[in-house]
Amino acid sequence: MVISKTKTPKTLSNSRKSDKKREEIIRVAIEIINAKSYAQATMVDIAAALDLRDATLYHYFHDKRTLAYACHRSSLERAQKLLETSDETGGTGAEKLRHFIRNLLVESKQNGSLLYLGDYSYLDSAQRKTVKQWADRLQAVLVRFLNEGMSDGSIVECEPELVVQLLLGMLIWLGKWARSINGLTIDRLMNAIEIFSFRGLER
């Protein structure tokens, strides 16, 4: 009688220590995927940046797609917390928006960039659905801030959905490219955003 041999998936590490290591892997993976794209980033690249063997990563994530999905979830969780804090702080629509943008810059400096959400086609269908629904909910909060601002007079009349896309695009690319500016600080970034996004360039 022939006994068929089937590969059993590796058991993932599951402890407080492994949770901390998993967070560290996610942070580095986000940086590498943002810089290289998902297609070009490899588990070898991510492991090397952590001074690990790539085989070690598979104790925490089954494969690159699973890791990328964890990166998306982590980024969405972080953004959601920032939006909730800004909403709870209160104030005008413009004040909530400013609060969110500044806190996003501060949080990203402390904890690393958020994963670029413009493309997640490499995820499986269930993962894509989760990411899209979650991202849509968060964008709806930003749209609400703009609508509140138009109602309370702190924001000019505009198309909130379109403005939100422009703001998110600006914040994403700032995270990718603005670091090359010498002596860059949160205050310098906020001053530029204040002029460009809130007051406008035209005198």
Chain segment 23-60, per-residue pLDDT in tens: 999 999 999 998 889 999 999 999 999 999 989 999 99
* pLDDT score, position 4: 43
- The CATH number for 105's domain is 1.10.357.10
Q: With a cut of 70, say whether residue 83 has pLDDT above it.
A: yes
Mean pLDDT of 119-123: 92
Q: With a cut of 50, say whether residue 1 has pLDDT above it.
A: no
* pLDDT score, position 12: 63
Q: Is the residue at 84 inside a domain?
A: yes
Q: Is the residue at 174 inside a domain?
A: yes
Chain segment 132-169, per-residue pLDDT in tens: 999 999 999 999 999 999 999 999 999 999 999 999 88
Q: How many independent structural domains does the chain possess?
A: 1
Global confidence as pTM = 0.85
Q: Is the residue at 16 inside a domain?
A: no
Domain containing residue 140: 65-199
Contacts of 2 (CB under 8 A, 6+ apart): none
